[in-house]
């Protein structure tokens, strides 16, 4: 999949990428973006408050899926009495997402700059970079980048490259911190939300790679500059991994504001129209072909119950069966359960089963009703938000493809069921590892 | 220090030993039963668990009686240290040591159960599993030391206890309907949420109901390991 | 001072004792796992709730304080005119 540039005025994280798609080593990184504006250690005291205020003014939210305001998270970690560590989350458990891998390969120093800045804010020198074990290219890129930085300035921070198992839920905050602490890469039960993960007695600030790359740019250009693109409620740009029925799939840097339709047109949406668009990830939501004219901003998307999430956009061509695609996704997501909570372990396969029944056989209304009841039975009853994401996806599918449900109830399976699926990453068997 | 000898104390030791064996056997069997989610119309699942707990407490009373009378009886020179430290008995060190070890394990289980609410759940569970060591050791102690084994009735009782424990463990492992499958009977208050089994059109994922199947597939496609079990890895 | 029942879904192993002891508060889903609404436990059912909590073999279920709004906490102590909601 090639990496293409966004329209030039919005080139920020992907700035300077050429068609040859070269990796940026440290000198190239300095040429493109300048040096990391980190004051020397004895000047940091006042800088910390100013930079924290900059991040708050910028309105930067997490780019990993939850879209939580970074300044709030930072304040919570800084308020803790214990020392902190910084964790770079480049796990990218969403199979259809490529953005963190792209950043790893082509702008790892931007991400590491952001990590160093956060470490300076917390007053720590410990940084963990977590990349899924099977993404060897990204792992290598970060290792080379870390080595370059150490050669350039050996006294700064200690960057540890970690490779947790490649599992969907392993990228969750508490799963990562438990794994770094020597346990299983499975989410913990945290009844007092929001809670701060702890690694070896120190509080951890876990941030997505894209978020940290934005932090590095805010440090260089300020919060005003950051807010100069995007919308008032959603400033800045997002990296979107666009795939499916588009002629130019890839990672696009897109400002908030344009409609999803415009973005898909830019990526080459099919002339015949779309049956639906999956936004956010396999734990995200479907949008109907009418709803894609919603502007990309968190307020607008929230009105239809959606969010940009992890930046995954999968276009489903007209003639494909959205219910069958959802069934495939849910079946895969069921295999990605950590296996800790009964409602998830048993509920997700049951929901997948019902969806498969609806999509592929002559289904009765009782099955559809049972599916609705099961959605209620599974939602909110796991230790983590994995089953909640799946249930939200299914609810959106039943809403967007409600006509298809009626059709299936009346006529049985539709011809679209057998079309090749645009969903990536769900057909190959993965080796199940937890440590 | 009360140390005396009298046939009464000696017979109390023997009798309480027999009763303790029977009650401990019942306790182990009931404990195994709780893991199978056993339920009948008259006996809810929590009752099986409570029965197990209460019989265990009564069993401990008889174990204590057995130990105390054995130590304070001067007919046989089992000193006080032998209650907790194995191989310090003057009388038949090995068989008494088996009893000592078994008693130590039971003490750990009892203390952790009394203090259960202050302890980590996994710690409690780990210590509780020591019962699977304690019972056979106590059984061996009885076989080697049992003064009454020359009587037929005692041989029958011992045999029955052994058979009961082996049988319940065997049933739990190989024959019980729970075994990660459908519950045998629903307790009160179950949501009747599913269609009856016969009417479901698609037979599909066996992992639906408790058995979780995961396969580790090596890179050349061979299935390396396949394991089934309850949802807790 | 409202209390409600809360289950740790990782620790829970679907024994079902809680639903047997407090059927008005806890029901089991089709896979045997407990569902307790987030509602506070009524006073008359407090004993059942405590029995259910004690009975769990995995100690997965707890009684937790609801994060009650401050006016309720004030109402349980001696109400003063300045702080009483009415």
Instruction: Evaluate whether residue A428 is within a structural domain.
Output: no
Contact C10 A340 (CB under 8 A): yes
Contacts of A434 in chain B (CB under 8 A): 233
Instruction: Evaluate whether residue A262 is within a structural domain.
Output: no
Pairing of the two strands C34-36 and C26-28 = antiparallel
Report yes or no: C42 and C15 within 8 Å, Cβ to Cβ: no
- Predicted confidence at residue A18, as pLDDT, reads 61
List the domain range (segments joined by +) for residue B201.
197-227
Mutation site for A-interface testing, chosen from B182, B183, B201, B209 by largest number of A Cβ within 10 Å? B201
Residue of A nearest to B216 (CA): A431
Provide the shortest C-alpha distance from residue A433 to chain B (in Å): 9
Contacts of B210 in chain A (CB under 8 A): 346
- Predicted confidence at residue B217, as pLDDT, reads 39
Number of Cβ within a 10 Å radius of residue A9? 9
Instruction: Evaluate whether residue B1 is within a structural domain.
Output: no
A327 and A180 part of one domain: no
Say whether residue B230 is in contact with chain C using an 8 A CB cutoff. Answer: yes
Pairing of the two strands A285-287 and A312-317 = unpaired
Instruction: Evaluate whether residue A293 is within a structural domain.
Output: no
**Would you state the structure tokens that stand for residue B133, as one six-digit string?**
């060591």
Q: Among residues A165, A159, A184, which one has the least CA distance to residue A174?
A: A184
**What's the CA gap between C22 and B39, in Å, rounded?**
17
A173: Cβ contacts below 8 Å, ≥ 6 apart: A89, A197, A204, A206
A26 and A170 part of one domain: yes
pLDDT band, very low/low/confident/very high, at B204 (cuts 50, 70, 90): very low
> Could you read off the pLDDT of A329-379 as tens digits, one per residue?
999 999 898 888 989 999 999 999 999 999 998 889 999 999 999 999 999
- Predicted confidence at residue A418, as pLDDT, reads 86
Contact B187 C28 (CB under 8 A): yes
Provide the shortest C-alpha distance from residue A184 to chain C (in Å): 13
Mean pLDDT, rounded, of chain C: 78
Provide the shortest C-alpha distance from residue B57 to chain C (in Å): 16
User: Does the pLDDT of residue C70 top 60, yes or no?
Assistant: no
**What's the CA gap between B158 and B139, in Å, rounded?**
8
- Predicted confidence at residue C42, as pLDDT, reads 92
B170 and B215 part of one domain: no
User: Does the pLDDT of residue B233 top 90, yes or no?
Assistant: no
Instruction: Evaluate whether residue A285 is within a structural domain.
Output: no
Contact A352 B205 (CB under 8 A): yes
Percent of chain C with pLDDT over 70: 76
Contacts of A359 in chain B (CB under 8 A): none
Mean pLDDT, rounded, of chain A: 90
List the domain range (segments joined by +) for residue A207.
8-227
**What's the CA gap between A291 and C9, in Å, rounded?**
36
- Predicted confidence at residue A431, as pLDDT, reads 65
Q: Which of C6, C33, C64 sits opposite A342 (nearest CB)?
A: C33
Buried b (16+ CB within 10 A) or exposed e, A324-350: bbbbbbbbbbbbbbbbbbbbbbbbbbb
pLDDT band, very low/low/confident/very high, at C1 (cuts 50, 70, 90): low
Say whether residue C29 is in contact with chain B using an 8 A CB cutoff. Answer: yes
| Measured CA distances, A272 to A291, A321, A339 (Å) | 17, 15, 42
Over range C31-56, report the average pLDDT.
Answer: 90
**What's the CA gap between B35 and C14, in Å, rounded?**
11
- Predicted confidence at residue C73, as pLDDT, reads 31
The lowest-confidence range among A81-90, A296-305, B75-84 is B75-84
User: Does the pLDDT of residue B190 top 50, yes or no?
Assistant: no
B35 and B149 part of one domain: yes
Instruction: Evaluate whether residue B152 is within a structural domain.
Output: yes
Contacts of C11 in chain B (CB under 8 A): 121
Helix (H) or strand (E) holding C4: strand C3-7
Over range B99-118, report the average pLDDT.
Answer: 95
A81 and A190 part of one domain: yes
The lowest-confidence range among A239-243, B88-92, B197-201, C48-52 is B197-201
B39 and B99 part of one domain: yes
Give the pTM.
0.84
Instruction: Evaluate whether residue A337 is within a structural domain.
Output: yes
B41 and B121 part of one domain: yes
ipTM of the complex: 0.86
User: Does the pLDDT of residue B229 top 70, yes or no?
Assistant: no
B99 and B44 part of one domain: yes
The lowest-confidence range among A43-47, B27-31, B104-108 is A43-47
A102: Cβ contacts below 8 Å, ≥ 6 apart: A3, A14, A239, A251
Helix (H) or strand (E) holding A202: strand A202-208
Contacts of A357 in chain B (CB under 8 A): 201-202
Over range A215-224, report the average pLDDT.
Answer: 92
Instruction: Evaluate whether residue B147 is within a structural domain.
Output: yes
Task: Please give the residue that has the higher pLDDT: either A432 or B218.
Answer: A432
pLDDT band, very low/low/confident/very high, at B37 (cuts 50, 70, 90): confident
**Helix and strand totals (H; E) in chain A:** 15, 10
B151 and B215 part of one domain: no
B149 and B71 part of one domain: yes
- Predicted confidence at residue B4, as pLDDT, reads 63
Say whether residue A342 is in contact with chain B using an 8 A CB cutoff. Answer: yes
Number of domains in chain A: 2
Over range B34-52, report the average pLDDT.
Answer: 88
A172: domain CATH number is 3.40.50.11540
Report yes or no: A240 and A95 within 8 Å, Cβ to Cβ: no
- Predicted confidence at residue A155, as pLDDT, reads 67
- Predicted confidence at residue B52, as pLDDT, reads 96
> Could you read off the pLDDT of B55-76 as tens digits, one per residue?
999 999 999 999 999 988 887 8
Contact C14 A342 (CB under 8 A): yes
B91 and B201 part of one domain: no
A331 and A208 part of one domain: no
Angle A419-A423-A427 from CA coordinates, rounded to 5°: 90
Contacts of A374 in chain C (CB under 8 A): 30
- Predicted confidence at residue C69, as pLDDT, reads 39
Instruction: Evaluate whether residue A311 is within a structural domain.
Output: no
Residue of A nearest to C31 (CA): A346
- Predicted confidence at residue B3, as pLDDT, reads 61
Report yes or no: B231 and C9 within 8 Å, Cβ to Cβ: no
Domains and CATH numbers, chain C: 3-76 (3.30.70.20)
Last residue of a domain, one of A227, A252, A275: A227
A328 and A197 part of one domain: no
DSSP string, C11-73: T-----HHHHH-TTTEEE-TTS-EEE-SPPPPGGGHHHHHHHHHH-TT--EEEEE----HHHH
A155 and A20 part of one domain: yes
Instruction: Evaluate whether residue A259 is within a structural domain.
Output: no
**Would you state the structure tokens that stand for residue A183, as one six-digit string?**
């346990």
Number of domains in chain B: 2
**What's the CA gap between B31 and B53, in Å, rounded?**
8
The residue count for chain A: 435
What residues does A84 pair with on adjacent strands? A203
A223 and A348 part of one domain: no
């Amino acid at each position: 999949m090639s990496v293409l540039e966004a329209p030039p005025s919005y080139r920020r994280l992907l700035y300077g990428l050429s068609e040859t798609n070269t990796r940026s080593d440290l000198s190239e990184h300095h040429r493109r973006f300048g040096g990391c504006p980190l004051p020397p250690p004895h000047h940091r005291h006042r800088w910390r408050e100013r930079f924290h205020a900059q991040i708050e003014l910028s309105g930067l939210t997490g780019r990993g899926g939850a879209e939580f305001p970074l300044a709030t998270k930072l304040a919570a970690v800084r308020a803790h009495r214990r020392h902190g560590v910084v964790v770079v989350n480049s796990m990218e458990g969403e199979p259809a997402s490529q953005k963190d891998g792209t950043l790893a390969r082509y702008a790892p120093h931007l991400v590491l700059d952001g990590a160093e800045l956060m470490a300076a804010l917390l007053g720590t020198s410990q940084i963990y970079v977590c990349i899924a074990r099977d993404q060897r290219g990204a792992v290598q890129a970060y290792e080379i980048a870390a080595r370059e930085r150490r050669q350039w300035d050996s006294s700064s921070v200690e960057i540890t490259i970690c490779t947790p198992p490649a599992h969907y839920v392993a990228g969750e905050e508490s799963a990562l911190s438990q794994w770094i602490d020597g346990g299983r890469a499975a989410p913990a039960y945290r009844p007092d939300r929001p809670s701060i993960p702890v690694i070896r007695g120190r509080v951890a600030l876990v941030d997505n790679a894209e978020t940290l790359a934005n932090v590095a740019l805010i440090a260089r250009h300020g919060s005003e500059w950051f807010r100069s693109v995007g919308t008032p409620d959603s400033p800045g740009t997002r990296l979107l991994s666009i795939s499916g029925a588009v002629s130019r799939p890839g990672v696009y840097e897109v400002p908030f504001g344009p409609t999803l339709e415009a973005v898909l047109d830019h990526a080459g949406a099919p002339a015949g129209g779309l049956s639906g668009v999956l936004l956010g990830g396999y734990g995200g939501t479907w949008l109907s072909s009418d709803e894609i004219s919603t502007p990309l901003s968190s307020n607008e998307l929230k009105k239809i119950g959606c969010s940009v999430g992890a930046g995954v956009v999968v276009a489903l061509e007209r003639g494909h069966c959205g219910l069958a695609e959802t069934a495939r996704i849910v079946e895969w997501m069921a295999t990605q359960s950590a296996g800790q909570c009964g409602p998830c372990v048993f509920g997700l396969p049951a929901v997948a089963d019902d969806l498969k029944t609806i999509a592929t056989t002559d289904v009765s209304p009782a099955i559809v009703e049972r599916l609705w009841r099961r959605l209620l039975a599974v939602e909110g009853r796991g230790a983590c938000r994995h089953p909640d994401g799946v249930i939200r996806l299914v609810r959106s599918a039943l809403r967007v493809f409600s006509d298809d449900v009626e059709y299936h109830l009346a006529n049985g399976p539709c011809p679209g069921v057998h079309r090749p699926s645009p969903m990536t990453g769900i057909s190959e068997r993965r080796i199940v590892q937890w440590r | 220090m009360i140390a005396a000898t009298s046939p009464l104390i000696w017979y109390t030791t023997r009798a309480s030993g027999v009763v303790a064996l029977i009650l401990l056997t019942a306790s182990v069997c009931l404990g195994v039963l709780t893991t199978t989610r056993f339920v009948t119309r008259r006996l809810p699942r929590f009752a099986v668990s409570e029965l197990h707990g209460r019989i265990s407490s009564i069993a401990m009373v008889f174990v204590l009686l057995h130990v105390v009378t054995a130590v304070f009886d001067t007919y046989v020179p089992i000193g006080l240290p032998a209650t907790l430290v194995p191989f310090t008995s003057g009388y038949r060190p090995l068989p008494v040591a088996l009893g000592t070890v078994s008693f130590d394990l039971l003490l750990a289980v009892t203390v952790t159960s009394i203090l259960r609410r202050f302890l980590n759940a996994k710690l409690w569970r780990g210590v509780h599993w020591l019962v699977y060591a304690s019972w056979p050791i106590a059984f061996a102690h009885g076989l080697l030391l049992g003064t009454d084994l020359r009587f037929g009735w005692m041989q029958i009782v011992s045999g029955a206890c052994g058979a009961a424990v082996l049988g319940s463990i065997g049933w739990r492992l190989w024959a019980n309907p729970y075994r990660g499958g459908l519950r045998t009977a629903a307790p009160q208050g179950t949501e009747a949420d599913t269609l009856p089994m016969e009417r479901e059109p698609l037979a599909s994922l066996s992992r639906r109901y408790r058995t979780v199947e995961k396969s580790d597939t090596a890179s050349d496609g061979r299935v390396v390991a396949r394991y089934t079990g309850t949802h807790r890895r | 001072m409202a209390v409600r029942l809360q289950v740790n879904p990782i620790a829970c192993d679907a024994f079902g004792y809680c639903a047997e002891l407090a059927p008005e508060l806890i029901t089991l889903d089709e896979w045997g796992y407990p569902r307790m609404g987030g509602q506070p436990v009524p006073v008359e059912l407090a004993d059942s709730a405590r029995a259910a909590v004690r009975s769990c073999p995995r100690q997965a279920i707890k009684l937790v304080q609801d994060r009650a709004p401050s006016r309720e906490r004030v109402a349980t102590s001696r109400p003063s005119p300045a702080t009483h909601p009415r």
